[in-house]
Structure 1
Amino acid sequence: MNISGLLAAARPLQEQLSAWRRDFHRHPEIGYEEVRTSAIVAAHLRCLGLEVTTGVGRTGVVGLLRGETPGPTIGLRADMDALPIQDQKSVPYASEVADKAHLCGHDAHTAILMGAAQLLAGLGRPKTGNIKFVFQPAEEGLAGAREMIKDGVLENPKVDAMAGLHMFPGLDTGTFGVSKGVAFASADSLTIKILGKGGHAARPQEGVDAIAVSAQVISALQNIPSRMIDPLEPVVITIGKISGGYMGAALAPEVEMIGTVRTLSAGVRSQMPALIERVVSGVCSSFGAGYELSYGTGYPIVLNDEAMVDLMTQTSEQLLGGKVWNDIKPSTGGEDFAFYCEQVPGVFFRLGSGSADESTRYPLHHPKFDLDETTLPYGVAMLSALALNFVNRA
């Protein structure tokens, strides 16, 4: 089948794609708990006649469409995990699990890759090369990609390139966005404990108010991106959680702050622990407080391979008969697709999921996040086309 015919071949899957996506949406499972989701995926892949491996990276599933002769292998990845956030949508397919919901589109990613497996399997074995369908657990902060790599997802047969997509409400349905080079930021974790001295709130001079010190620390941290780093290098330092104290009439003896640090440069990233320590130490010293600082190295930068980006953009134009992709700025969001890109050339791109309906324009991770489901066949067709172009270009 010509690449230009793949979207027409994917459109009849619309009802099934929506049904899969809504089922996963009603029954969300967070990182490494994707037992039900994995079972549904594995059963579907087996029905297609693929070689199926389960338990990869704990709860991941891999399906292999082996070609007639040896050749290059491409991996197509979908993440399956939900978020620990309460769904606030009033729709028939709203989450049925308290404080868990698919508010980042991973339910759609899973449905799309299931559809791509069905479409490609229906076309028969590739003449050369192989296509791996990688259904990954635990993208949301738990590094499921790294665990799948440890379990050999990039081997037997050896994967030569990886591709993945992500829903994006900021783009219209049927369009794509991609960044050449750095695509997503590194994502590190930060925990700071301010150690003060308790006392009566009416006599603050007798103690060390950890809450007052923490306020100064939060403000001072923002001087790192604005005054201590090259202003042309993006840095985000966010304190997302703060807790401490017992009552309004007492000084808080201790405050804990939890945050995240994002950069788009490996060089800048390497500077952050020391700069943060310098700022926290200086502020605490000036107020007579102590501190404990923990800096956790998380996801690396997602670095899109230039040749894979070119293949992706050219494929999208073949698929839809014109330029339907946008050269977009890198995101300061984190993505564990980065671990694949450290091992093999990769491309991670956005699929527009927004429509005129305001309900499809909520940002990722919003309690009311939803998407225009007519975008699902576009995702199926695009991943299928990209895989076929990759294995056929040898």
Structure 2
Amino acid sequence: MLTDPHAVYAHMREQAAACPMRSLDGSLMWVVGRHEGVRSVLADPRFANDPASAGAPLMQVDAMRNLGLAEELIPYLADTLLDNDGAVHSRLRRLVAPAFSARRLLALRPRIERLTDDLLDEMAAHAEDGVVDFLGRFAYPLPITVICELVGVPMSDRPAWLRWTHALSFEQEKLGETLGPLVDHTRALVESRRARPADDLISELIRAQDGDRLTDRELVTMVLSLVIAGHDTTANFLANSVWALLTHPEQLALLRADPELTPQAVHELLRWCGPVLVSRLRYVTEDADVGWASFQAGDAVMAALSGANHDPREFPDPERLDITRRHRTRGEAHVSFGAGPHYCLGAGLARHQSEIALRRLLARWPSLSMAVSPEELNWQPVSGMRKLERLPLRLDGARPAGPPLHRDRPGPDGASA
């Protein structure tokens, strides 16, 4: 599975429109991997994110209890925007959506460019014999800094947030001791913004707290969800993209020759090597005949995004990476950001960061290469994800360093950089 997860999901896709599979706890679920089926499941309100709406066991909550998470902390991870459907989901999403508008992203672009240049400088400064880990020195710091800036996390707190969010992703056994301080810190941050509002998402959400539209717990949960979800997938997409380009030199050459292909390349890379392989489980709220399959109320269904993104019914020669690929339909053909009402809220921000990062990285180092062979890279054993442990790059052929580093952003170790 780690070696080639796409082949596994492709095999299930070709077995049946809905392939039965046993989950880790032995329960039955259906894996949908064809492009048409995945889009159908993700858009159909009868396939809900909340298991309670289908009378299904609360497996996520049970898993958190088994990890020793205190009951009062569970809602901050298990009652988020992603865990709700229908009117509750629409209300929460409507409140936060303006922060990710095209206008806000355009205004944020100069700052993302400056942060990118700073981190590229730091990559060069921390390289040993010309080699540096792209994930640790660039791919993770960039999106956590950007999302913290958008949300309103002060610069002095960002190193701590990076440690906390990293622990939540990679140290599940420390869930309780990590989440508690993070919740307390976020509550304090909300109170400080109540006293001194700013031009950030926290202040906007506080202004939205009229009547019962947004409770204090919902506000803190929203902030945590956006920061946690807003950096990990983007970081791993950046690493996967650089790995893909460096192992496909003809595609890299095309992109170097025509940087205007970058937006199109980002979409193709999302299709070909997006880090999220499957959706969250969906639960069928009523018997549903969708034409290509029939489901019973209470069934658990997983949409295999990888299977859909490599489905030959939608993408001719799907295993070929082609940054000039054209599609039959307008808009986004891949499903790496999902589809339907739970379509990724931060999709525009993720694309924006990725385009800027890839353009500036490739322009900065014309002879960029991997410092190890592709066979030496290790993929993390994370279910449903495609994530590298490290991506060592050789920065040969670097142009002379640009202006001095900006001094208004903490470095990876918390010191001024």
Q: What TM bracket, shorter-length normalisation?
A: under 0.3
Q: Under a length normalisation based on structure 2, what TM-score does the superposition of the two structures give?
A: 0.23
Larger Rg: 1
Higher share of residues assigned strand: 1
Higher share of residues assigned helix: 2
Q: Under a length normalisation based on structure 1, what TM-score does the superposition of the two structures give?
A: 0.24
